[in-house]
Structure 1
Amino acid sequence: MTAASPQAPHSGRLLSFDVCCGLENLPVSVLNEVDDDCLPPLQYTSENVAGPGEGRDPTEITLPGCECLTSSCEQDTCICLQRYVGAYDDDLCLVDFQEEMGYSRPVFECNVMCKCGEACKNRVVQRGLAFKLQVFKSSRKGWGLRTLEPIKTGRFVCEYGGEVISSPEAGRRTRSQRSGDMNYIIAVREYLSNGEILETYIDPTHIGNVGRFLNHSCGPNLYMVPVRVSSMVPRLALFAACNIAAGQELTYDYSGKFNNLEKRVSTEEGPSGETGNPKLCSCGSSSCTGFLPFDSSLYNLKDK
């Protein structure tokens, strides 16, 4: 479901409208105490939508369901849980989220084809927002997202959702950006056991959800995990990497890694191969590398 988000009136105060247009479990308010800027136009969607060139429909049901005739599935009998050993514990926290080298394992939740109940503990991301969040304006980083209540380590916070587009379309959109434009396109590359790489490109620039307002941090408090529910198209779910206090800004590492301390490239390669100035990072983390992550491969995605 999608809806056009209303435009914020002149701010400097708490704004009453819901960024999510009623499409989420909880409303997300807006606060701007910095200037009179309005939120950028956004067609809000509570789930990924198929964009230009993408042959996969993220809303199509393509995964089989389990045969568990119980209120909550058990590891020994549930085919969904057997795809990922013990994804969530009894407190709905993601278990063992990172493997060696900083890569996360995919999660398969029970879906609409499953015979288990709605209370099954293997249904987390599909339930949507569980914490009160707020979009706010900061003086250094522009719009951001914070939590209005405490969040425990491992709990699901929100998705990074939007248009699922093809690699040629991702390349075209990236090359058409001007130097001052924000790049919201994220490329997810999953390495399969047979050696193949499964690529997914999601762009929430014009059609997206609350995840669009998350800022980067070199020392983030969220980490991203591909979660599959009814489709092989992953939902990019963000979980708490630590206990997060009420009022704290929510951030993740734009490079896709958690606490990525690798030295970042200090120059950016443009669509014609030219080198420009890097975008400085303003995360304020003690582990800040100085520059925002930059994926130059998006410039090299060719039309097919």
Structure 2
Amino acid sequence: MAQTGPSAAAMAPEDVCCGTERLAVPVSGPWENLPAFQYTPELIAGPGAEQDPSEVTIQGCDCRGSNCVAELCSCLPHGTNYVRRTIVSGQRPVRECHIMCSCGESCPNRETQQGLQYQLQLCQRPGKGWGVCTLEDIPSGRFVCEYAGEVLGHEQARSRTLSQNPCANNYIIAVREHLHGGQILQTFVDPTHIGNVGRFLNHSCDPNLFMMPVRTHSMVPKLALFAARDIQAGEELCYDYSGKFFNQTPACETLDPEEPSSRKKCQCGARACSGFLPYESSLF
């Protein structure tokens, strides 16, 4: 069931988020040409979703006080996640305290639930359409934004992908988490019709952001984007759509030699550019 948002004319150049985020995200350029979509700051259940991301399915901790300790907090089975609001490691699972926890909203283990923390702006990028730039410096390891939209089942994600014009932008992302025993958890998120500022982030083969699955109250993970290095004001924010940052298992597969027409040229301009955007073979 495809849902459509308000027309671009209903948005304001002062804030593409329509007041739903902690900070406004202004638009630099012909904002009336923005694609029509409905803004959501969080994941929502879409067609075929096995779980509703708004439902609480993970038990909260019983910690007293506002600073959970890894050795005592059930939400920190893999150790401390953040030190001075900076992520400790991009290579291990992240689980945050949430609404059912006793520690309270001031607990530092709730970083991705604080909303936007830096002034961002939509801007036009040569050869890439719209993109996201930061208006202030962002230190390495800080949370920047979430990639939010509709959580889809695999068949619905595949159906939407196949129905798209090959020349159109494809916003659907497929994230795979490899667990012990060979089990694989898949999450498909589509912000095409309902999404957030993350839908405007472009790909780069040399990104300044990296994506991490972060769980709060639900087994459906937030797709959180963190600064991969110190980022200066004025830079465009980009991440690697393939998920190869930190040598993690790629979220997207490589080119199927029998499907060369499905590849799109990469316009990132990085010195080590692969030449093409990542390709998710399971959706074709």
Structure 2 length normalisation: TM-score? 0.91
- Residue identity over aligned pairs, in percent, reads 53
User: What SS class does the counterpart of residue 207 from structure 1 fall into?
Assistant: strand
Distance apart, 1:293 and its partner CA: 0.9
**Residue in 2 aligned with 1:286?**
271
**Residue in 2 aligned with 1:7?**
8
**Residue in 2 aligned with 1:97?**
90
> Partners of 2:177 and 2:126 in 1: how far apart?
36
Distance apart, 1:106 and its partner CA: 2.2
**Residue in 1 aligned with 2:94?**
107
Query: Residue type matched to 1:111 in 2?
Result: H
1:247-258 maps to which residues of 2 (within 5 A)?
A: 247-258=234-245
**Residue in 2 aligned with 1:295?**
280
Rate the CA distance shift 1:274–1:208 in 2: closer, same or farther, 3 A.
same
**Residue in 2 aligned with 1:23?**
20
> Partners of 1:274 and 1:75 in 2: how far apart?
47
**Residue in 1 aligned with 2:72?**
77
2:172–2:190 contact (8 Å) kept in structure 1: yes
**Residue in 2 aligned with 1:49?**
44
Unaligned runs of 5+ in 1: 10-14, 99-104, 300-304
1:123-272 maps to which residues of 2 (within 5 A)?
A: 123-258=110-245
Distance apart, 1:139 and its partner CA: 2.2
> Partners of 2:82 and 2:243 in 1: how far apart?
21
Query: Residue type matched to 1:41 in 2?
Result: A
Query: Residue type matched to 2:174 in 1?
Result: A
Query: Residue type matched to 1:188 in 2?
Result: V
Query: Residue type matched to 2:181 in 1?
Result: N
Rate the CA distance shift 1:112–1:39 in 2: closer, same or farther, 3 A.
same
1:146-166 deviation per Cα after TM superposition (whole angstroms, max 9, x unaligned): 111100000000011100000
Query: Residue type matched to 2:24 in 1?
Result: P
> Partners of 2:263 and 2:82 in 1: how far apart?
39
Distance apart, 1:133 and its partner CA: 0.5
> Partners of 2:189 and 2:183 in 1: how far apart?
20
> Partners of 2:254 and 2:266 in 1: how far apart?
11
Decide which of 68, 71, 80 is 1:86's aligned counterpart: 80
Query: Residue type matched to 1:31 in 2?
Result: S
Rate the CA distance shift 1:80–1:293 in 2: closer, same or farther, 3 A.
same
1:61-107 deviation per Cα after TM superposition (whole angstroms, max 9, x unaligned): 1111111111111112101012x211111x11001213xxxxxx221
Query: Residue type matched to 2:85 in 1?
Result: L
Unaligned runs of 5+ in 2: none
User: What SS class does the counterpart of residue 194 from structure 1 fall into?
Assistant: helix
Structure 1 length normalisation: TM-score? 0.86
Distance apart, 1:280 and its partner CA: 1.1
2:76–2:96 contact (8 Å) kept in structure 1: yes
> Partners of 2:153 and 2:253 in 1: how far apart?
26
1:268–1:278 contact (8 Å) kept in structure 2: no
1:6–1:17 contact (8 Å) kept in structure 2: no
Query: Residue type matched to 1:94 in 2?
Result: I
Distance apart, 1:218 and its partner CA: 0.1
> Partners of 2:130 and 2:261 in 1: how far apart?
25
**Residue in 2 aligned with 1:102?**
none
Query: Residue type matched to 1:239 in 2?
Result: F
1:113-153 deviation per Cα after TM superposition (whole angstroms, max 9, x unaligned): 10002111101001111111001112221000011110000
CA RMSD in angstroms, aligned pairs only? 2.3
> Partners of 2:254 and 2:68 in 1: how far apart?
48
2:254–2:278 contact (8 Å) kept in structure 1: no
User: What SS class does the counterpart of residue 157 from structure 2 fall into?
Assistant: helix
**Which consecutive segments of 4 or more residues in structure 1 shift more than 3 A?**
2-6, 264-269
Rate the CA distance shift 1:253–1:232 in 2: closer, same or farther, 3 A.
same
Query: Residue type matched to 2:35 in 1?
Result: P
> Partners of 2:256 and 2:63 in 1: how far apart?
51
1:253–1:259 contact (8 Å) kept in structure 2: no
